[in-house]
Amino acid sequence: MTRRRNGAGGDMRDFVAALGLVFAIEGLLFAAFPRGIARAMREVSEHGERQLRTAGIIAAVGGVALVWFARRAGLW
């Protein structure tokens, strides 16, 4: 696999770009579906701490795996 950038600066740029994309997508969801997001937030707040932590860990591992597979396959 060839790298487009040299050094750790490229990795930091990727991180900041990914973080910006998360904020953009989240902002679009709040703008497009404010009632749905409010309802989802209420429902999530009713779940226990352990269940939320488990869901967060699964989402984080899934996201890292998705990025890893995409980079490994040369999609990114």
As given in the structure block, the two tokens for residue 76 are 């990114």
Q: Which of 25, 47, 29 is nearest to 38 (CA)?
A: 29
pLDDT band, residue 11 (cuts 50/70/90) = confident
Has residue 35 got a pLDDT over 90? yes
pLDDT band, residue 45 (cuts 50/70/90) = very high
In a domain, 5, yes or no: no
- In angstroms, the CA 71 to CA 50 distance is 32
> What are the tens digits of pLDDT across the range 56-72?
999 999 999 998 898 88
Helix, strand, coil percent content, the chain, rounded in steps of 5: 80, 0, 20
In a domain, 51, yes or no: yes
- 1 compared with 70, residue with greater pLDDT: 70
- In angstroms, the CA 5 to CA 17 distance is 15
Number of domains in the chain: 1
Flag whether the pTM goes above 0.75: no
Domain that holds residue 27: 11-72
In a domain, 2, yes or no: no
